[in-house]
């Protein structure tokens, strides 16, 4: 491939990535107008980078001890290809470890997530939007992909990252702006 064409493709790819990031930020600012990034970090599994995460909320009302009492968003930008059903399985496994919900709820949530969560590739952004007592809404690259109506789901799902007993304490600290 000629050098000029490679350079042009690189510039186009960078422009598209910036446009997607801008669209994602605009979407979050529309849904959570007072939100800012509280913190962010990287999740690794056995040394492999899976995703970068950022937590959005209104910093004036956000408290790490009372995170489930305010609207917030968690944005994950994937670093590799993952199957959506595996993301759902891993999510329920983490909820079980934290003792979130009963077996019937966990099964229902797993079924809902398997229907909702798409396969992802490097650069894909999935965002979950939490509001106390409301359905949890999900977005892929800034576009809505669906919601899980059970209001108890949101607290359980976001606990994967924000609960004090999360299996990823370093990422939790980074998301809460404490690292």
pTM for the complete prediction?
Answer: 0.84
What confidence tens digit (pLDDT) does each residue in 79-132 have? Answer: 999 999 999 999 999 999 999 999 999 999 999 999 999 999 999 999 999 999
The residue segments making up the domain with residue 53 are: 3-175
Q: How far apart are CA 79 and CA 136, in angstroms?
A: 24
**CATH, residue 67:** 3.50.70.10
Cα–Cα distances (Å) from 170 to 5, 127, 163, 165, in that order, read 42, 20, 12, 11
Domain count, the chain: 1
Mean pLDDT of 3-28: 46
What confidence tens digit (pLDDT) does each residue in 159-171 have? Answer: 999 999 999 999 9
């Amino acid at each position: 491939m000629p050098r000029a064409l490679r350079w042009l493709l690189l510039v186009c790819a960078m422009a598209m990535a910036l446009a997607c990031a801008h669209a994602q930020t605009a979407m979050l600012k529309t849904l959570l107008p007072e939100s800012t990034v509280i913190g962010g970090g990287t999740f690794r599994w056995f040394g492999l980078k899976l995703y970068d995460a950022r937590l959005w909320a209104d910093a004036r009302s956000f408290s790490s001890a009372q995170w489930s009492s305010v609207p917030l968003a968690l944005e994950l930008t994937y670093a590799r290809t993952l199957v959506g059903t595996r993301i759902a399985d891993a999510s329920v496994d983490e909820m079980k470890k934290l003792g979130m919900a009963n077996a019937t709820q966990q099964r229902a949530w797993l079924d809902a997530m398997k229907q909702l969560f798409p396969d992802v590739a490097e650069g894909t952004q999935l965002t979950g939007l939490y509001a106390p007592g409301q359905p949890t809404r999900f977005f892929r690259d800034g576009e809505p992909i669906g919601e899980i109506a059970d209001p108890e789901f949101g607290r359980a799902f976001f606990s994967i990252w924000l609960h004090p007993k999360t299996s990823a304490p370093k990422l939790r600290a980074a998301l809460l702006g404490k690292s």
